[in-house]
Amino acid sequence: MSFMKPDAADVTNPRFRPWAKIASPTANLAQTTWDLKQREEVQARNEKYWLDKGHTPIPREIFEKHPKIWLEIGSGTGGYFLDLAKKNPEAHLIAIERCKIRSGRMIQKFVKSQLTNIQGFRGNAIPALITGIPSESVERIYILYPCPWPKNAHRKNRWYLHTVMPHLIRILKPGGFVIWASDQEFYIREATFVSETRYSLKTILSGEVIPNEWNQLVEFPNGRTSFEAKFFSANHPCFELISQKL
């Protein structure tokens, strides 16, 4: 079987509509509430699976050694975290990326920089979050432009509905932040709703990405990450959420 790569000529074919033309869902908070009620049994099963496997891609000792850790999940090629590491030498930055090619580029960049306050890992963030990261050990968690899983049938994969979400909150220090960005407004609205109602996080900021003291976009006018840069150059609005654990 051969796979056809869409090109400019294919845009009239509905199978290859560019992403911007595919209607994105609106936030469905009633359904999200229902989803959260169903999670408990799945939660236990999923955790047991990863605990039995007993593998975590990030060594636990790193979290015990450094007092000020910032973690990026799905970091792509790691450019944004490298800039943050340069600007924040007092913090220790850890990036995890599952894709072999992107994580390879990221690790190469980090090694070349010779910075000692940044580490990149190739692997799945799910076992890392469930089994490998001590409680209350991370000051900031960045989830920037994750796959939004817009199809209703796939919504359990959205990070805020995923079984790792309680672990994201568990590993966060009191006063710590979860920093989200997405090109999908529904994703940020639902993430805000879940963070507030289920996890009692305080919303510091939720809305369209515009320069502010949190995202320091003034220093990244073309976008902080490669996905953000793509959306900015296409004039596609982006959205962000900054939540704090009280």
Ligand X SMILES: C[S@@+](CC[C@H](N)C(=O)[O-])C[C@H]1O[C@@H](n2cnc3c(N)ncnc32)[C@H](O)[C@@H]1O
| Chain positions contacting ligand X, by CB under 6 A | 74-76, 96-99, 102, 124-126, 144-147, 225-228
As measured in angstroms, the least distance from the Cβ of 12 to ligand X is: 26
Q: Nearest-5° angle of CA 181, CA 184, CA 168?
A: 45
202-208 β-sheet, strand order: 118-122, 92-97, 69-73, 138-144, 172-182, 239-244, 202-208
Tell me which residue has its CB nearest to ligand X: 74
The residue (of 172 and 179) whose beta carbon lies closer to ligand X is 179
| Nearer to ligand X (CB atom), residue 91 or residue 99 | 99
Residues whose CB falls within 8 Å of the CB of residue 140, separated by 6 or more in sequence, listed in order: 69, 70, 71, 176, 177, 178, 179
184 phi/psi in degrees, rounded to 5 = -110, 115
Residue 37 or 151 with smaller CB distance to ligand X: 151
C-beta of 147: minimal distance to ligand X in Å? Answer: 6
Q: How many C-beta atoms surround the C-beta of residue 14 within 10 A?
A: 9
- For 116, residues 6+ apart whose C-beta sits below 8 A from its C-beta are none
Q: Minimum CB separation from ligand X for residue 9, in Å?
A: 26
Shortest distance, position 215 Cβ to ligand X, whole Å: 13
For ligand X, which is the closer residue by CB, 185 or 228? 228
